[in-house]
Amino acid sequence: MRQKIEFTSSGNTLAGLLERPKEHIKAVVLFAHCFTCGKDIAAASRISRALVKQNYAVLRFDFTGLGNSDGDFANTNFSSNLDDLRAASDYLRESLFAPQILIGHSLGGAAVIAVANQIPEVKAVVTIGAPANAEHVTHNFAAHIEQISQCGEAQVQLGKRTFNIKKQFLEDLNEQSQKQSVIKNKALLIMHSPIDDVVSIEQAESIYVNAKHPKSFISLDDADHLLTRSTDAEYAATAITGWVDKYIVPHPAPNAQKVLHGELVVREKDHKFTLSVYSDSHSWLADEPIKVGGKNLGPDPYEHLLAALGTCTVMTMRMYANRKGLPVEDIKITLTHQKNYHDDCENCDSKNNYTEEITRHIEIKGPIDDAQRQKLLAIADKCPVHKTLHNTVQVKTQLLI
């Protein structure tokens, strides 16, 4: 399924194309195209289609001032490209799922490396024919750099089109190149052709040497820089899907049965600890940590319990603060659960010699006085989940045949 979408970045409306599989979405990919290209370049289109066949959803879009997106290209730069990628990520997070995979072609590769740490859901980053730093792109108009520096701008022929390049573009590239972008806690795949005559293979070597593990390199053999042959683009997509499966957290398949509002359905996923959890409008995974035999693909049962109390508490406090017009900037709650064992326990029931304790550490930021803080603390105990935990709860279990 192909869907034309629009989202806003720095006041400009950007045009994108979201391609989704017919079946459930395994994970979402955000694709950054090459310098002055656009979302509809053949390589981006072919790679996207191949990924969709493997149940990945892919968003590719035109950067500000290019293709069908608003804005003036002359006023853009590498930093604005990063802004556009963050805006695209926000759009996906709100409308579908946040991207777990970033793919960048040529200068787009440098961009996804630079922005990866700012998108927390990203698990893996892929570069295709990417330079080690953004400033490398200036070789495309090296003959005009002196004119741009002296006159402030110049008309530059790139491919079959003419672009107005301003001095601020060069200055931004220089500033960005001074920042050594190192991806943290994310996997990196570098794909490059040894005969690439636009971005040399030495650039890929530099990226690899400076990157932290886990990192991988796949040669694109005799492919050209733009992957103009369909077989090269399809090979790249096949290699990406085979590599990335190890690092992503697949989204659960949609529930076959309808879940009514107020109900929650839990189903097995791997006949061990990994479970799919469904509400009427959401789905997620539950699991156990690796140290006890799980895969750690989702929160464990007690983390779900703490999440229920924590989220309910913050919501209740926020509702009160908003209703009273209190200048509360942020509420943060850290929760823990433990069992306290006792030899002689007055509060223990007849079967157990322990009590269970949940501790909430509440931080409230904002210019409010002590009386207001104490009132908010009292409101925390009015959270409905807190009341449920303090009530006598009967769990009724029925076996369906």
Does residue 181 carry a pLDDT above 60?
yes
Which residue reads 């590239």 in tokens? 173
Of how many residues is the chain composed? 401
Q: Which residues contact 177 (CB under 8 A, 6 or more apart)?
A: 133, 134, 135
Number of domains, the chain: 2
User: In this structure, what CATH number is given to the domain that contains residue 190?
Assistant: 3.40.50.1820
Residue 284 placed within a domain: no
Q: 107 with 11, same domain?
A: yes
226, 244, 262 — which closes off a domain? 244
Q: 224 with 308, same domain?
A: no
Residue 251 placed within a domain: no
Q: 350 with 235, same domain?
A: no
User: Nearest Cα to 34, choosing from 117, 103, 92?
Assistant: 103
Residue 160 placed within a domain: no
3-state SS, 200-260, equals CHHHHHHHHHHCCCCEEEEECCCCCCCCCCHHHHHHHHHHHHHHHCCCCCCCCCCCCCCCC
User: Nearest Cα to 359, choosing from 314, 294, 293, 309?
Assistant: 309
Residues 213, 235: Cα–Cα separation, whole Å? 24
Does residue 350 carry a pLDDT above 60?
no
Selection from 242-256, 268-282, 327-341 with the highest mean pLDDT: 327-341
pLDDT interval class at 376 (50, 70, 90): very high
Spatial contact of 93 and 173, defined as CB atoms under 8 Å apart = no
Mean pLDDT score across all residues of the chain:
86
Q: 195 with 98, same domain?
A: yes
Q: 225 with 108, same domain?
A: yes
Q: pLDDT tens for residues 51-63? A: 999 899 999 998 8
User: In this structure, what CATH number is given to the domain that contains residue 382?
Assistant: 3.30.300.20
Q: 311 with 380, same domain?
A: yes
Q: 232 with 312, same domain?
A: no
Per-residue DSSP letters for 256-314?
SSPPPTT--EEEESSSSS-EEEE-SS-EEEE---GGGT----S--HHHHHHHHHHHHHH
Residue 166 placed within a domain: no
Percent of all residues in the chain with a pLDDT value above 90, rounded to a whole number: 44
pTM of the model: 0.62
* For helices 167-177 and 78-95, angle between their N-to-C axes, nearest 10 degrees: 70
Q: 39 with 108, same domain?
A: yes
pLDDT interval class at 24 (50, 70, 90): confident
pLDDT interval class at 142 (50, 70, 90): low
Residues 326, 74: Cα–Cα separation, whole Å? 44
User: Nearest Cα to 140, choosing from 117, 156, 161, 122?
Assistant: 156
Mean pLDDT (whole number) for 210-229: 90
State residue 387's pLDDT score.
Answer: 95
Residue 396 placed within a domain: no
Residues 163, 167: Cα–Cα separation, whole Å? 13
Using DSSP's 3-state secondary structure scheme, residue 355 falls into strand
Residue 52 placed within a domain: yes
Name the DSSP class of 89. H
Residue 380 placed within a domain: yes
Does residue 69 carry a pLDDT above 80?
yes
Using DSSP's 3-state secondary structure scheme, residue 346 falls into coil
Residue 22 placed within a domain: yes
Q: 236 with 308, same domain?
A: no
222, 244, 266 — which closes off a domain? 244
Residues 389, 287: Cα–Cα separation, whole Å? 23
Does residue 325 carry a pLDDT above 80?
yes
Q: How many helices (H) and strands (E) does the chain have?
A: 10, 15
Residues 223, 282: Cα–Cα separation, whole Å? 42
State residue 345's pLDDT score.
Answer: 60
Residue-range definition of the domain harbouring residue 322: 299-390
pLDDT interval class at 66 (50, 70, 90): confident
Q: 198 with 332, same domain?
A: no
User: Nearest Cα to 299, choosing from 312, 285, 313?
Assistant: 285
Mean pLDDT (whole number) for 209-237: 90
Q: 239 with 303, same domain?
A: no
Q: 206 with 83, same domain?
A: yes
State residue 190's pLDDT score.
Answer: 95
